[in-house]
Amino acid sequence: MQQYHQRFWALWGISVAILVISIIVAVAIGAVPLPLPTVIDIISHELWPSLITPHWSMADWQIVVQFRLPRVLLATVVGAALAVSGTALQAMVRNPLADPYVFGISSGASVAAVAVLTLSTSMRGIPVSFAAFVGALTTMVLVYGFAQRHGHVTPLRLILAGVAVGYLLSAVTSYLVLRASTPGMGATAALSWLAGSLGGAKWEHLGIPTMVLLGTTGYLWINAPVLNALATGEETAISLGIDLERVRIRLFVTTSLLVGTAVAVSGAIGFVGLLIPHMVRMGVGADHRYVLPLTATVGACFLVSVDVIGRTIIAPQELPVGLVTAACGAPFFLWMMRMQQGGQS
């Protein structure tokens, strides 16, 4: 236990340092590259105005403060949120393949967002982010309702209900895109949202997701012993006096709120909630007191780095961040899986 404790603090400290460096480098990189000292000075001046006398141009300030910094910070929040939600869902249902997509939450957000983008005449004026959030939470209620049998919910039924609802909602999303009333704008915007994008990030998009991330992650961390018991098995959890039904409802609502908020501001970004928890467990074991905070920082680092790749690899055009997470995450996940098999053989 002491070994894992020391390893956690070492890895967490390293991940925080890497995250800070990644944020600064990501702000500096772009169609108009900026010197790292200039980026550091501008950010420092925004945090402590009396610390540094401005010596940069207004254009540099606008690039850093108005365009790149909100985008990079949004990637930080969304990456942490998706990774933490994946960790909690995998523990809750004891399934290493569980993530927001498996439970249909992302699909529910997608249907609502695409409906707003394509059915402009009937849903004009509804913010896409609000619609996506409502869609995610509505799907959560449907999945949990379908998973119930005689007032009880099992992990298997929860996954099966999520997969079934997810497939149904994916079909609805495809239909909405095909029948878009404005094929040029509506369908293109819908497809871009479905692939995940951080390009429209603004400062006002950061407040609610950040508060939700901090609140839900704190709640999950406080309940880390419960997650440990659920990950061990239902018998262990019951023997410890845990009310499985009540705990699952709370955890499902918490993770759905976290995912819905993240997806609402970023679109459908896959693979983060599946890949990152496995990476972290390889380093610090399965104790969620260590896994949750490290998962948050590693997930943030991952999405910040992926977003930089997406907006620079074919510059001046951008690749949707969801495509890059799949392209980078899938091969790495397969390699990691083979490494784990090799260690067990």
* Nearest CA among 14, 94, 87 for reference residue 296: 87
pLDDT means over runs of 10, the chain (345 residues): 78 95 95 92 92 90 94 96 93 82 84 80 66 85 84 81 90 84 63 81 91 95 93 84 85 87 85 89 89 96 94 84 84 72 53
pLDDT at 345: 46
pLDDT at 237: 84
pLDDT at 119: 74
pLDDT at 184: 53
Task: Specify the long-range contacts of residues 56-60, CB closer than 8 Å, at least 24 apart.
Answer: 60/34
pLDDT at 2: 65
Give the C-alpha separation, 239 to 224, whole Å: 17
Give the C-alpha separation, 101 to 271, whole Å: 9
Do residues 218 and 224 lie in contact, with contact meaning Cβ atoms separated by under 8 Å? no
Do residues 100 and 89 lie in contact, with contact meaning Cβ atoms separated by under 8 Å? yes
Give the C-alpha separation, 19 to 16, whole Å: 5
* Nearest CA among 218, 300, 207 for reference residue 261: 207
- Give the CB-side neighbour count of residue 268, counting CA atoms within 13 A: 28
Q: What is the CATH number of the domain that holds 109?
A: 1.10.3470.10
290-324 core/surface letters (b: 16 or more CB in 10 A; e: else) = bbbbbbbbbbbbbbbbbbbbbbbeeeeebbbbbbb
Q: What's the one-letter identity of residue 129?
A: S
* Nearest CA among 67, 30, 311 for reference residue 203: 67
Which domain range does residue 170 map to? 2-344
Burial environment of residue 115 by CB neighbours within 10 A (0 to 12, 13 to 18, 19 or more): buried
Counting the structural domains of the chain, the total is 1
Tell me the backbone φ, ψ of residue 3, rounded to 5 degrees: -65, -45
Give the C-alpha separation, 170 to 166, whole Å: 6
What is the enclosing helix (H) or strand (E) of 170?
helix 155-178
- The residue behind tokens 């609805």 is 172
| Cβ-based neighbours of 25, under 8 Å, separated by 6 or more | 36, 308
Q: Where are the beta strands (DSSP E) in the chain?
A: none
